[in-house]
Amino acid sequence: MSNFSNFPRNVLAEGAIMISLAVSLDFISNILPSLPQGGSFTLGAMVPILLFAIRRGVKYGIIIGVIFSIVKLAFNPPFIVSPIQFLLDYPLAFGALGLAGLFPHNVVLAAAIGIFGRFTAHFISGIVWFSEYAPEGTPVPLYSAIYNGSYLTVEFLISAVLLYFIWQRDFLKLK
């Protein structure tokens, strides 16, 4: 991880605000149903992290995504079966949201890339650690793709729409 004294102060402050917003949206979203082995859609909890990555780039986006995953755990007990599964489903998955910084001029594509990165980490975790939940006769990769894709597709749609309106209307005076 990075030494925070090397962060520009404005980037560090913005990152802290975005993590706070994301955790608040995630916490409020606890009223929504979640899937049995983890995973749920939120009221746009990934939007602040994606927006930060779009504004500040991949490096800072990944770092803030990882920190968000750790703070998120303080409010939502994790579903952990292995240390590697923990790394895949939390720091790596949420850090992957920082990949949105690869496409700062197209927020919908940025959201797709960041959320696809998160999907990839959950997909691998699902194949390796959650295969026992696949219905008999269902290929485990297909089960993992459907399980993780079900909530992350909804999350992508929510995030893409919110990011598009925030960015196009410049509500936050970001441009």
Model confidence at 130, pLDDT cuts 50, 70, 90, reads: confident
What's the pLDDT score for residue 30?
A: 75
Q: Which of 96, 38, 102 lies closest to 68 in space, CA to CA?
A: 96
pLDDT tens-digit readout, 70-98: 999 888 778 788 999 999 999 999 999 99
Structural class in CATH, domain 4-169 = mainly alpha
**103 close to 110: Cβ distance less than 8 angstroms:** yes
Neighbours of 1 (CB within 10 A): 8
- 141-170: average pLDDT: 93
pLDDT tens-digit readout, 15-64: 999 999 999 999 887 776 666 666 677 889 999 999 999 999 999 999 99
